[in-house]
């Protein structure tokens, strides 16, 4: 998305805000929030947000503003984190008293934040949230200026889910998330069976332990290595499909950070241990989410890699891995 795209979104919001501002209020400055990921993995989009919004605000102000009042931008950084997005929305609506909001960017942030804006009567328009639920919940002042997932992205395989009310909040688990978990466990179970209980698995383990001795015993180690690459590519393909189903879209760079986190999870659980890799992934995901929600989402990647460093220092074999014994 270009800065021009965000500039058009801001102009659309400015027009809507102007229609909602009383003609009797003259020369009153109008605050408009710009909410998006100013930090974190999607910070580049937040930067475009601000530049596009600032260009539009400067143009409007140069032509007399809105009803004689100047446009004042109030930035809000949600880092594409739902909990942080709600905090930003509350600040923009209650403290800053904005007339409208451009944002948010990620659907997971826009949906909960839009509930806050609806209660406060604040107009919001998102240039980047593609989840159909953004505009299908009956909120009269929530708009979008981009296509929806069911029009431009990967269609949702399983719609709906379970919602559990806990105190003043709730926990929601979609059927798609459940499908992803089941598929991941099924893939790991199949891989574990192949490695532990099949002839191919025994050859793989023998080649890994001592390639020269495996060759002496008649194992075609080159072919085994090729099979391992095929199996690894198949598991990576499964992971890619599940990631695409989860986010509803994909690009060439989607697996970069995820691949690094996967390596961290493997080291955490223990290199060479399939159950350890899955356990490491679960621990890393939960720990990272808790760190983001309780401390700061800006440094969640730092936290993950700091955890990797600590594991390498104090338990290099991982949680379920076995220490290597040097033969002399």
Residue 22: pLDDT band with limits 50, 70, 90: very low
Give the pLDDT mean for 129-153. 84
Domain segments of the chain: what residues? 3-153, 155-239, 251-328
Identify whether the C-beta of residue 149 lies closer than 8 Å to the C-beta of residue 106: no
> In the predicted model, is pLDDT for residue 153 greater than 70?
no
Give residue 21's pLDDT.
46
d(CA 7, CA 55): 7
Residue 84: its pLDDT value, please? 92
Is the CATH number of domain 3-153 3.40.50.2300? yes
Average the pLDDT over each of 140-149, 165-174, 180-189 and give the range with the smallest value: 165-174
State how far the Cα of 249 lies from the Cα of 50, in Å rounded to an integer. Answer: 24
How many CB atoms are closer than 10 A to CB 90?
15
pLDDT of residue 154 exceeding 70, the answer is no
Residue 320, C-beta contacts closer than 8 angstroms, at least 6 positions apart: 269, 270, 273, 275, 276, 279
**For residue range 47-59, what is the model confidence (pLDDT) as tens digits?**
887 888 888 888 8
Instruction: State the average pLDDT for the chain.
Output: 82
The residue among 157 and 319 whose pLDDT is bigger is 319
- Looking at the chain, which runs of residues are DSSP E strands? 30-36, 71-77, 100-102, 123-126, 142-144, 161-166, 169-174
When mean pLDDT is compared across 176-190, 209-223, 306-320, the lowest value belongs to: 306-320
On the 0-12 / 13-18 / 19+ scale of CB atoms within 10 A, 252 is exposed
Cα distance from N-terminal residue to C-terminal residue, the chain: 60
pTM over cut 0.75: no
Q: 3-class DSSP state for residue 255? A: helix
Whether the predicted pLDDT of 163 surpasses 90: no
Beta bridge partners of 33: 74, 101
pLDDT in the model for residue 155: 67
Angle (nearest 5°) at CA 38 between 37 and 39: 90
Interstrand relation of 161-166 and 169-174 (parallel, antiparallel or unpaired): antiparallel
User: Distance of CA 180 to CAs 113, 152, 185, 188, 249, Å?
Assistant: 26, 21, 9, 12, 15
Min mean pLDDT across 8-12, 104-108, 237-241 is at 8-12
Render pLDDT for 93-127 as a digit per residue (tens, 0 to 9): 999 999 899 989 999 899 999 999 999 999 999 98
What residues have CB less than 8 Å from 205, skipping those under 6 apart?
Answer: 195
Preceding omega of 155 cis (within 30 degrees of 0): no
Percent of the chain at pLDDT > 70 equals 86
Give the number of other Cβ atoms within 10 Å of residue 186's Cβ.
11
Q: Region of 79 please: left (phi>0), alpha (psi -120 to 50) or beta.
A: left
Q: Enter the tokens of residue 263.
A: 């390596």
């Amino acid at each position: 998305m270009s800065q021009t795209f965000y500039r058009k979104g801001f102009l659309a919001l400015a027009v809507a805000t102007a229609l909602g501002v009383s003609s009797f209020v003259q020369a009153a400055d109008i605050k408009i929030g710009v909410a998006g990921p100013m930090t974190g993995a999607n910070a580049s989009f937040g930067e475009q947000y601000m530049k596009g919004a600032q260009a539009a605000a400067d143009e409007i102000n140069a032509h007399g503003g809105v009803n004689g009042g100047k446009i004042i931008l109030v930035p809000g950084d949600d880092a594409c984190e739902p909990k942080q997005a709600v905090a930003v929305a509350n600040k923009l609506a209650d403290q800053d008293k904005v007339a409208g909001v451009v944002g948010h960017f990620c659907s997971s942030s826009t949906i909960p934040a839009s509930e806050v804006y609806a209660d406060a009567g604040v107009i919001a328009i998102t240039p980047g949230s593609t989840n159909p639920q953004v505009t299908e919940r009956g909120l009269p002042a929530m708009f979008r200026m981009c296509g929806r997932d069911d029009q431009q992205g990967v269609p949702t395989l399983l719609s709906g889910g379970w919602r559990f009310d806990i105190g003043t909040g709730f926990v929601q688990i979609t059927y798609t998330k459940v499908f992803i978990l089941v598929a991941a466990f099924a893939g790991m179970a199949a891989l574990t069976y192949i490695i532990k209980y099949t002839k191919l698995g025994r050859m793989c383990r023998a080649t890994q332990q001592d390639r020269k001795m495996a060759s002496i015993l008649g194992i075609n180690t080159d072919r085994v290595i090729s099979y391992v690459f095929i199996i690894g590519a198949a598991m990576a393909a499964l992971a890619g499909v599940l990631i695409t189903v989860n986010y509803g879209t994909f690009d060439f760079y989607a697996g970069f950070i995820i691949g690094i986190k996967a390596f961290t999870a493997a080291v955490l659980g223990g290199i060479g241990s399939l159950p350890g890799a899955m356990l490491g992934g679960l621990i890393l995901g939960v720990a990272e989410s808790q760190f983001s929600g309780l401390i700061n989402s800006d440094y969640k990647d730092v936290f993950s890699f700091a955890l990797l460093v600590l594991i390498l220092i104090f338990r290099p074999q991982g949680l379920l891995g076995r220490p290597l014994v040097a033969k002399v």
